[in-house]
Chains A and B, each alone.
Chain A
Amino acid sequence: MRHHRSLLCRALLTGALLCIAGPLLERATADEQTWAERVAAVVRPADDFSAAEPYEINSGGAATSHKLVNRSSFSQPSANLPFEQQLTFKVGDGIFRKLWVSAPSSTTSSDGLGPLYNSRSCQSCHLKDGRGHPPAAGEAAVSLFLRISVPPRDAQEREALASGKAPVIGEPTYGTQLQNFSLPGIVPEGQMTIATEEVPVTLADGTVVTLQKPTYGVSDLGYGPLDPAVMLSPRLAPPMIGMGLLEAIDQADIDALADPDDADGDGISGRVNRVWDQEAGAVRPGRFGWKAGEPSILQQTAHAAAGDLGLSNRFVPYPGGDCSPRQTACREAPNGEDAAAGEHELPDRMLDLVTFYSRNLAVPARRKVDDPQVLAGKALFYESGCIACHRPKFVTGDVAGRPEHSRQLIWPYTDLLVHDMGEGLADGRPEGFANGREWRTPPLWGLGLTQEVSGPTGYLHDGRARNLLEAVLWHGGEAEAAKQKVVAMTADERAALLAFLESL
């Protein structure tokens, strides 16, 4: 092995001085085998829980933020960004926080909102770059919205889905998302309704936990009835941290974890979702979103800008956003495209800045990695089988031009695969090749700072779980066996498991 430390190590400063471990390490062919072996050794799950593992505190590798814990804990840049890219990050942050306005406006670069939208800025849903929350009683929903679609109705639509070119078939009038806000003069599509039912769960030690089971509907429909076959899927704004690192994981490492037919008989059959990648012009593995419906952070960002804010961009070049042909007033409303400059409402330079920002929100360092209770909880997490899907470790691959994300040892606790999570969590709405019972394993890093950053907590895809124990108890399907182990735990064991999760 050649370790030219002086070459490997580029002094970079941001909150901490760290060097980039990976990209400068030369990868001669002869080293390939050794490199793969070393990575395999380092990502092998721990079997010794007497102490923390080396580097376990750095959930996001050298990009981990070591700032003091506070409400801005999810808003820090990758700690290994050079100064020059800190500028890009900050400008991207400004656009992320920007409140968009309706066209025409005196500040032409800030107009183009809607006409239908769920939010006026990115930040409004991703509060403090963290998790959204379900609306409180009497509050309009902002960081939770409904995806909508219908089953295929003819051969053409079936072909669109089978080929992967369309992830869903939009509701004929309302499109793929219910926008509950609109510009003046345009009717909003409707309001989400949530009816909850209490579901008591009795744990082995007699403790009763009461889960809240939500049922979703739509009221105040602005454009006539929904198609009778409509499928609704609630989606909460997820935390923004660590996404560039997840993007940097080699697809082969994810594929290796997939076991679609459960060949190994462990009851876990993770699948790679496959979706249309507009840049590649081909079907590619999905990685981002609650059902892994987006192949890249760039495409995810572009689709969110169009769907959530109504901003046209190079991926969705329609200033009407999600307005369908049946929503004529919406289609004919003034738009914010700058014809003179030949620019979309969200021009490429702004899309790229927001994408850069989204890639570089740092994962905060863990707390209490050496605490005995946390270590005991870690052992329980591993022994209960949680790590079959919540994979602790990866070493990222080489990403051209992104040394901050390359060759980092990261601890995301996800396999990025979709799994059958049982009837309790099912939305009954397929997306791409993920069916109505499947959800992508969400990363768990940063979990313990949710309360600090976002206040009232709401976990899972629609925020229904008010705390981590409730979130665990909602697991079913492939995760049923692991959940039953938690149900069977003593109070002390449960407390240890939760202490581990809170330390992430």
Chain B
Amino acid sequence: MPRHLVSLVAAGAVTCIGAAVQAAPIEPHAVVETYADIAHAMYGDAHFAAVRLQEAVRTLVAEPSAEHLFAARTAWRQARVPYQQTEVYRFGNPIVDDWEGKVNAWPLDEGLIDYVDNASYGEASEENPLYTANVIASTSLSIGGETVDVTTITPALLADSLQEAGGVEANVATGYHAIEFLLWGQDLHGTGPGAGERPWTDYAKGDACTGGHCDRRGQYLQAATDLLVDDLAWMTGQWAEGGDARQSVLQDPQAGLTAMLTGFGSLSYGEMAGERMKLGLLLNDPEEEHDCFSDNTHNSHYYDVIGMVSVYNGTYTRIDGSKVGGASLAALVAEKAPDLDAEVEAKLARSVTAFSLLKVRAETVEAYDQMLAADNAEGGAVVQAAIDSLIDQTQTIERIVAALELQPIAFEGSESLDNPAAVFQ
């Protein structure tokens, strides 16, 4: 029976290639090995793209200009492409979940980092004493009754003292979105057209400096980017030969398959359809978008879906055009439940289409945040269609879990509660 490999050829375009079912039975061990290989390649690409961003940031800080700010923004957008594809590794792998907040936490109270527009942002928040702390304009901060010296902005300061300071999740000091804010500034357009408009002179030297403390802004930007590079290098290592994340899926392939499908389903349903998309529509709130400073949300959503397709089909096209792949979950499902494989392939293709339409609309008609406006029925419908496609595909994923007869994960020193007879013996 033929089945279809959905693979990305170019942004927005999808093609289907017929492939024959392999004759030899698919081993779960081989499937999770492919899963780990693709993770290693994806995080490696994310690291590579972050290094490019790091170079662009260094150039911007050393020789501030409109061109160099534009180049840094472009490098940030490009860095998002491989990273968003890795998000399918969340929710199933505890090592990824434990780490993820360092690199991709959102939304953030950006007043912690830099100046903000007081009229729209407000001058204070009872809940967050650091709401307008403005690290860039400060030499010391009081965090939970302790004085923290911020004279020199280092990766360690951001990671250890400022991230989630005071227990407030919105105190995001590190990761893509902190960098995004430093490159774009606040998007003050609400649900109207336009993204953040930070001028390049916010990094200018001497009297040309706008926004104050340009040198410290540059220092913050470099520290945050250096930290991102380090964090991505660390995660790439977790998936390399001998890495802990690789080991944990390889040592128990059944649990590895569970991790794959858990990540797939949870990213589709809870994280994307729910938190990142449905909430914004429900509240009609332009701040409820994933890349809110740069208006890059459509791309972030789109590449999340592309990552799912890669993991399901066991083939990933790297930034350099080379391919990484092997025994796939798709082949395993096709062997055990060909109908379900065909169904989820079709649904994944529909999701790719729905997100392509979202992406095209964002690039040609109106930005993602404009689609969230209460009076924008047409834009809202495009977002809703994308949400619906994720919900639809997840229902098939749930059936795949049942079809593969995945066993409960055994927890340390305990069976799970799946067997009432054991509990109430």
Give A residues with C-beta under 8 Å from B: 1, 3, 5, 8-9, 11-19, 21-22, 25, 38-39, 41-42, 52, 54-58, 61-62, 66-68, 70-72, 77, 82-84, 86-91, 93-95, 97-99, 106-110, 119-121, 123-125, 127-128, 130, 136-137, 139-140, 142, 181, 349-350, 365, 369-370, 407-409, 453-456
Contact = CB atoms under 8 A, between A and B. Distances in A.
Interface string B267-295: 01111011100110011111010000000
Given A56-B414, A124-B128, 10 more contacts: A1-B421, A14-B91, A16-B409, A42-B423, A68-B95, A90-B274, A97-B170, A124-B126, A142-B127, A409-B423
Interface string B383-404: 0000000010011011001100
B418 A62 contact: yes
Query: Lowest 6 A-B CB distances belong to which pairs?
Result: A124-B127, A86-B270, A90-B274, A19-B418, A87-B274, A94-B279
Contacts of B423: 21, 42, 54-55, 409
B420 A8 contact: yes
Nearest to A76: B97
Contact of A13 (B95, B262, B283): B262
Interface string B55-66: 000000000000
A120 B125 CA distance: 8
Contact of B424 (A5, A38, A94, A370): A38
A13 B265 contact: yes
Contacts of A58: 411, 414, 416-417
B113 to A, nearest CB: 18
Nearest to A10: B402
A454 B164 CA distance: 11
Contact of A136 (B91, B145, B419): B145
Contacts, number: 203
A422 to B, nearest CB: 31
Interface residues of B, number: 68
A110 B283 contact: yes
A16 B408 contact: yes
A13 B270 contact: no
Contacts of B421: 1, 3
A89 B270 contact: yes
Contact of A17 (B91, B145, B288, B409): B409
B9 to A, nearest CB: 30
10 contacts: A54-B423, A68-B97, A87-B278, A90-B279, A108-B374, A109-B282, A123-B127, A124-B127, A408-B417, A454-B167
Contacts of B406: 11, 13, 17
Nearest to B146: A136
B98 interface: yes
Given A38-B424, A55-B414, A55-B423, A119 B97 contact: no
Contacts of A14: 91, 262, 266
A72 B101 contact: yes
Nearest to A130: B167
Contacts of B127: 99, 119-121, 123-125, 142
Contacts of B270: 77, 83, 86-87, 89-90
Nearest to B409: A16
B413 A19 contact: no
A125 B405 CA distance: 42
A165 B421 CA distance: 44
Contacts of A61: 417
Nearest to A8: B420
A176 B70 CA distance: 56
A97 B109 CA distance: 12
